[in-house]
Amino acid sequence: EPEEAAVRIGRRVVETMQARTEHGYVFRIDLRLRPSPEITPIVLPVDAAISYYESQALPWERAAFIRARACGGDMALGIGFLNAVRPFVWRRGLDFGAIEDVRGLSRRIRDHYAQGQTFGPGYDLKRGRGGIRECEFYAQIHQLIHGGREPELRAPATCDALAALASAERIGAEQAASLAEAYRLYRRIEHRLQMVDDRQTHSLPTEPDALEGVAKLDGLADGAALLALLQPHVDAVGGIYDALDGDARESLPEAGSALEDRLHDAGFPDPAHAAQRIAHWRSGGVRAVRSPAARAALEAVLPQIVAALGSAQDPQRAILQLSTLIERLPSAVNLFRLLEAQPALLGLLTRILIHAPTLAEALSRRAELLDRLIDASAFDPPGSIAALAIEMAVKADVEEQFDHVRRIVGEHRFALGVQIVEGVCDPLDVAAGYARVAEAAIQIVSDAAVTAFEAAHGKVPGGELVILALGRMGGAELTHASDLDLIFLFTGDFSTESDGSRPLGGTMYFNRLAQRVIAGLSVATAAGPLYEVDTRLRPSGTQGPLAVSFDAFAKYQAENAWTWEHMALTRARCVYGSADARVALDGIIAKTLATPRDPAALHADSIKMRADMTTHKPPKSELDVKLLPGGLVDLEFAIHVTQLTNRKSFNPHLAGAIAALGDAGLAPATMADAHCLMTRLLVVLRLVAPDLQTPDPATCALVANVCGASDWPQLLDRLAAVRQDVSRYWHQVAEE
């Protein structure tokens, strides 16, 4: 049988390699790193090994695989196996639990080899405190934490790993240099030890003469010189490694008055209620804190959690929000370990829980979103569309590509939301950042869908898919909750067929392809949701085909489009397609918008549309800056009617259109400030008050601050003033 044959071959290889003859031996073989070595055969089926690593492998086995490579036999099979277990080794989320896992292994090694821990004769160079293992473990701990997100840190050799970690600023350059220097010295002395009698030993000799012999092999005078050479390195490595444990942290009392006293001292106005929340976490009734590892991680960070929540403006609300987050998570181990390792994140998490329910909900689905906030770069605006597209693109099948896009988009949207909560970025810049992220996602998802579709159906000669964005996406000013208003178009002759093995007519081809793109952008997967896509602005609305040709689009706009469709077209912007297609589409739009029209009919249509909108979609509250009288919709109507009436100042970016109309004397100068204030408020409220109800006082203060007001009353006064300005402008335009 194959299993038995493989075991016999493996045994023969081992015997051949380590059998001693008159010529010596080749190498010693250690088979103890295989899964469950005490009960498994020396050769395992690949599928059985993969199953083991996916379900029950131990933390030290992850560290061991950092240095794994295929080195013999069926190399392709070996490489395939390593690729299959890569997600087990390199976890995408920052895994600060690795510190405790590997530290626990280190403590067990120290206990087991207790006789080699004391520095001096008999010291174990490999397993002793400050020795070879601790150099390796220090590098591997940081590789396991960060290597899932930073492939450049996955170097198998210890010195290379230390250099990569220092280059990425994951460890200090001095620490890396100290560890690397010690490691090279240890390995050199280890060679000297093993040159004596060809023994596999790592311990310095206890006999003075033997110790002196090893020293002289290294060119040193005597054993004392050897110890003097080693000791500063042993002390340095031991100190660096021990610092991973940090300072000893106090524990939180289990229950009763002692716990309530601590909570009262921390700032909780109702310590009994807070104690009930903590007791609930500790009870084992919460799925995310049910395992021993999760409970241990919780206890380790609880004192810090209590201190952070107690210092919040509303401690009771903060602890309730955190409790909701924990109860929604499948496992909270990594969240607790992350907070323990990065205490500064606790304050940020508290502010997110109090001010931004939208972000808190995202965290309940993907706690690893906090990982991105460790780097200061998380508070920088997203890069260009091209840079974001490169980050989102992976060489994978279409479903893996879609999942990857969802992860990257989720991380960027979360980080942009946090920038608002922290008040480090203008909401207008955040809105532009949301739009760049969305446009990059459209490009990558569309590319992946096109590639997969062409593999099945070929290409339509002379045809390509083109995507036109309108609304807030066209104007590149999205909120956290914005959907994407898109129109799908195609070039070429709709009567032709694709050239693949399963040909389709041109119209059916691009309609099905558009459906694939929409599914890629909107269908939620294990990696989370992406965007809602709204295609109702396409020619003939929901009654028309999903994708139409350029010729059909141009004809519809010239002969059949309603006034509101031309108003929407003023914010149209091509977000997917070749350069030639974009130029051609821009020409169709420019020609449509430049067409002379009857001002009276235009004004009558716009007034009726606005009245219908008020009837069917009234404002939700006094904070609905979009739909309130004098709000953003009134401003947009006034600007678009002015543009179409005068056939000038067309710009998909509303701020640019307002500026151009202002320069032409066609819009009041106050409209620029009105647009900025209401857009800022819209972006912030979509994040912190998605129901558009007045938030609690602490969040009101945050909203006022990021919108440039001294306090909430001043913000409301400014909003009332700009709404009056917009109402006057809209009525002026409508009555002309």
What is residue 27's three-state secondary structure?
coil
pLDDT at residue number 141: 87
Check: CB of residue 183 under 8 Å from CB of residue 11. Answer: no
Q: Which residue has the higher pLDDT, 517 or 199?
A: 517
**Predicted confidence (pLDDT) at residue 249 exceeds the cutoff of 70:** no
What integer is the mean pLDDT of 159-168? 95
Provide φ and ψ at 309, rounded to 5°: -70, -35
The number of helix segments (H) and strand segments (E) in the chain equals 31, 5
Contacts of 679 (CB under 8 A, 6+ apart): 427, 428, 431, 477, 632
Closest alpha carbon to 536 in 487, 586, 609: 487
Q: Which residue has the higher pLDDT, 709 or 102?
A: 709
Q: What is the pLDDT of residues 657-672, one digit of tens each?
A: 999 999 999 999 999 9
What is residue 528's three-state secondary structure?
strand
**Predicted confidence (pLDDT) at residue 643 exceeds the cutoff of 70:** yes
C-alpha dist (Å) from residue 409 to 342, 444, 703: 24, 11, 24
What is residue 283's three-state secondary structure?
coil
Question: What's the CA dihedral at 158, 161, 166, 167 to 10 degrees?
Answer: 140
Q: What is the pLDDT of residues 543-583, one digit of tens each?
A: 889 999 999 999 999 999 999 999 999 999 999 999 999 99
What integer is the mean pLDDT of 134-161? 91
The 3-state secondary structure of 209-220, one letter per residue: HHHHHHHHHCCC
Question: What's the CA dihedral at 531, 560, 585, 632 to 10 degrees?
Answer: -50
pLDDT at residue number 637: 96
pLDDT at residue number 37: 82
Hey, what are 437's tokens?
């992220």
Give the span between the Cα atoms of 249 and 204, in whole angstroms.
36
Give the span between the Cα atoms of 182 and 296, in whole angstroms.
34
Check: CB of residue 228 under 8 Å from CB of residue 221. Answer: no
pLDDT at residue number 108: 67
Amino acid identity for residue 422 in this structure: E
The DSSP output letter for 95 is -
Hey, what are 350's tokens?
């508290």
Hey, what are 333's tokens?
């181990």
Q: Please report which helix (H) or strand (E) contains residue 45, including its range.
A: none
**Predicted confidence (pLDDT) at residue 524 exceeds the cutoff of 70:** yes
pLDDT band at 5 (very low <50, low <70, confident <90, very high): very high
Q: What is the pLDDT of residues 359-399, one digit of tens each?
A: 988 888 888 888 878 776 778 889 999 999 999 998 778 88
**Predicted confidence (pLDDT) at residue 247 exceeds the cutoff of 60:** no
Check: CB of residue 14 under 8 Å from CB of residue 41. Answer: no
Closest alpha carbon to 679 in 642, 629, 633: 633
pLDDT at residue number 98: 64
Amino acid identity for residue 81 in this structure: F
Hey, what are 505's tokens?
């007519």
Q: Is the pTM of this model over 0.85?
A: no
Least confident of 113-117, 395-399, 621-625, 732-736: 113-117
Give the span between the Cα atoms of 96 and 342, in whole angstroms.
9
Amino acid identity for residue 182 in this structure: A
Check: CB of residue 139 under 8 Å from CB of residue 172. Answer: no
pLDDT band at 69 (very low <50, low <70, confident <90, very high): very high
Q: Which residue has the higher pLDDT, 197 or 720?
A: 720
Give the span between the Cα atoms of 603 and 95, in whole angstroms.
60
DSSP string, 298-332: HHHHHHHHHHHHHTSSSHHHHHHHHHHHHHH-S--
**Predicted confidence (pLDDT) at residue 241 exceeds the cutoff of 70:** yes
Give the span between the Cα atoms of 186 and 444, in whole angstroms.
49
**Predicted confidence (pLDDT) at residue 39 exceeds the cutoff of 90:** no
Task: Give the number of other Cβ atoms within 10 Å of residue 650's Cβ.
Answer: 20
pLDDT at residue number 603: 92
Work out whether the CA dihedral 315, 320, 321, 323 comes out positive or negative.
positive
pLDDT at residue number 725: 97
DSSP string, 329-394: -S--HHHHHHHHH-THHHHHHHHHHHH-HHHHHHHHH-GGGGGGGGSGGGGSPP--HHHHHHHH--
Check: CB of residue 356 under 8 Å from CB of residue 688. Answer: yes
C-alpha dist (Å) from residue 348 to 309, 432, 697: 11, 23, 18
pLDDT band at 111 (very low <50, low <70, confident <90, very high): low
Q: What is the pLDDT of residues 288-330, one digit of tens each?
A: 888 878 888 898 889 999 999 998 888 988 899 899 888 888 8
**Predicted confidence (pLDDT) at residue 427 exceeds the cutoff of 70:** yes
What integer is the mean pLDDT of 445-470? 95
**Predicted confidence (pLDDT) at residue 96 exceeds the cutoff of 70:** no
Specify burial of residue 33 (Cβ count, 10 A radius: 0-12, 13-18, 19+): exposed
